Homo-oligomer: A and B are copies of this chain.
Amino acid sequence: MLININPTNGLAVYDQIARQIKFAVANRVLRPGDLVPSVRELAKNLAINPNTVARAYRELQAEQIIQTVRGTGLEITVAAPEICRNARQELIRLRLREVLEEAGRSQLSRTQVKQLFDKELSQYDETGNAS
């Protein structure tokens, strides 16, 4: 199945759905013109309420990743791949900035933060690409 829900994740169900769609788009599992599963079909498969799926799709529409084709369903937009690939990078950038701001409030020096980062980076085993 395309989507996999973990109810004890802390993440909202609709958020998990939206993330996984974006992930699939970024990795070309879903391509422009493909239809995402219908609200009711996906809801049935995941044993959740259709409106929860609808909410995920609403967010994806707001980000112009899917668009409605009335009477037919929701399809991946042409712009979606670029949006999703940019978005995940921007997300990481934003998170990094937040951490740096917090470090600043804690009066950690730039070099201290850099040392922490390098150490964590070297410890972290990537699952995907080579470095």
B97 touches A120 (CB 8 A): yes
Q: Which of the segments A42-50, A70-78, A86-94 contacts the partner chain?
A: A86-94
Count identical subunits in the complex. Answer: 2
What's the Cα separation between A99 and B130 when bound, in Å?
Answer: 18
A101 within 8 A of B: yes
Q: Give the interface size bracket for A toward B.
A: 35 or more
Tell me if A106 counts as interface (CB < 8 A to partner B): yes
Task: Say yes or no: A102-B91 contact (C-beta < 8 A), given A107-B27, A109-B126.
Answer: yes
With contacts A89-B112, A95-B102 known, what are 4 further pairs, Cβ within 8 A?
A: A23-B106, A96-B120, A105-B127, A110-B121
Task: Mark A residues whose CB is within 8 Å of B.
Answer: 23, 26-27, 88-89, 91-93, 95-114, 116-117, 120-121, 124, 126-131
